[in-house]
Amino acid sequence: MIFENDVILEDEEKEEDGASKNGILNKGLIDARTILISDSVDHKLTAKVTAQLLFLDHQDSEEPIKIFINSPGGSVYDGFAIYDMIRFIRPRVKIISAGLSASAATVIMMAADKADRLALPNSRLMIHQPSMRFQGVAEDVRRTAEEVVKIKKKINEMYADETGQPLEKIEEDTDRDYWMSPDEAVEYGLISRVVNGFDEIDG
């Protein structure tokens, strides 16, 4: 299976010489085995990130991968897709919260082992229950409501398993937006430590 860099990177406006500054930058990040999640979690982001993960696994199944997250969250299903791909590939994955990691973005963070979940000093993390827009006939609304309940239960169980917090506490905390500083996230079990530089990530 062959993955070309122009396939796994977002399309960028081409300059007159046919080069793309952002494409070159993104290729440099991929060469450094580093992925950025810096937008809402949706199908476009998921397609890019999962392709990058598969490419890096194909390139070297043992060298670790770093993922920096600065995202308000988004689609829980796309969050699950990225989560599953991180668990699916062979390399160790280190995930660093850099800015905002909220909602589906924190679900993605749970894919890494606790020791590999990190945050920069001024980042903010938030967990909450999922929500969906309801439309259609009454039966569709009822079934969507049932799906929301199932997803809420699944996410709460994931948070409980990965943080060590009692499920009852997770259920109470995610009833509303639950914000944490990096130090509070360490105490909560969401991340393992706060880092200030690459040497601390690689250490």
Of the residues 20, 101, 123, 128, only one is catalytic, namely: 128
Q: Under a CB-based contact definition with an 8 Å cutoff, are residues 44 and 71 in contact?
A: no
Report the topology of domain 23-202: 2-enoyl-CoA Hydratase; Chain A, domain 1 (3.90.226)
Q: pLDDT class for 8, splitting at 50, 70, 90? A: very low
Of the residues 103, 123, 181, 192, only one is catalytic, namely: 103
Question: Does the pLDDT of residue 3 top 70, yes or no?
Answer: no
10: three-class secondary structure by DSSP: coil
Instruction: Say how far apart CA 109 and CA 72 lie, in whole Å.
Output: 13
CA neighbor of 42 nearest in space, from 73, 67, 83? 73
Q: What is the pLDDT of residues 110-135, one digit of tens each?
A: 999 999 999 999 999 999 987 666 56
Question: Does the pLDDT of residue 108 top 80, yes or no?
Answer: yes
User: Average pLDDT, whole number, for the chain?
Assistant: 88
Percent of the chain with pLDDT over 70: 86
Any idea where the domains of the chain sit in the sequence? 23-202
pLDDT attached to residue 132: 62
Q: Which residues contact 12 (CB under 8 A, 6 or more apart)?
A: 20, 21, 22, 23
Q: What is the pLDDT of residues 50-106, one digit of tens each?
A: 999 999 999 999 999 999 999 999 999 999 999 999 999 999 999 999 999 999 999
pLDDT attached to residue 198: 93
Active site residue 43: no
pTM of the model: 0.86
Question: Does the pLDDT of residue 45 top 80, yes or no?
Answer: yes
Which residue is listed with tokens 């439309």?
135
Active site residue 103: yes
Q: In DSSP terms, which residues pair with 180 in a beta bridge?
A: 125
